[in-house]
Amino acid sequence: MFAPEPVRSAAFADLRAGTAHDRAIDVSATGAAFAPDGRRLAVAGRNGEVLLLDAGGIAVRAAVTAHDGPAGPVSWSADGRMFVVGGSDGRVTVWDGRTGEPLGALAPAAPGVRTYPVFRPDGHTVMVVSTDGAVHTWDARPSEWVARACRIAASGC
């Protein structure tokens, strides 16, 4: 089975200026995706790291280890406000698409089960497929998280 070497640098091109350059990154990349507007790049790493770069390859914030084991794939919401990252630890992490701050995590699968999240076209529903054969959907809007927590706590907030 072929296993490609992880990427530790990325090439960035400025099409207006007609220039390109390589930029070292502090992550052994296993997956990456550009925001819908093309201004940010979310990178998932072999050691569970998640890094957000601007389009020039400069880190928006330092990499955060968010998964136990390899992270990825990455999927962005249609408006670029959030992105989600799957992992081999049964979890999906949710990130602020502008600052790269982690917003939370959920565990739709057991540890050791790989998750593959993707934002649906509505921009707030995330579908997660996992290697155990399960398919989950959830609403990624923070207001929905609060409402669900209130329902679980039976407090009505």
- Structure confidence by residue, pLDDT tens digits, 115-138: 999 999 998 999 999 999 999 998
The model scores a pTM over 0.85: no
To the nearest whole number, what is the mean pLDDT of the chain? Answer: 87
For strands 40-45 and 7-14, give the pairing.
unpaired
Task: Give rounded-to-5 percent helix, strand, coil for the chain.
Answer: 10, 50, 40
Q: Are 115 and 130 in contact (CB under 8 A)?
A: yes
Q: Which domains does the chain have, with CATH numbers?
A: 7-153 (2.130.10.10)
Most confident residue range from 46-60, 74-88, 130-144: 74-88
Write the DSSP assignment of 68-95 as a string of letters. SS-EEEEEE-TTSSEEEEEETTS-EEEE
Q: Are 115 and 87 in contact (CB under 8 A)?
A: yes
| Distances in whole angstroms, Cα of residue 37 to Cα of each of 51, 54, 121 | 17, 11, 15
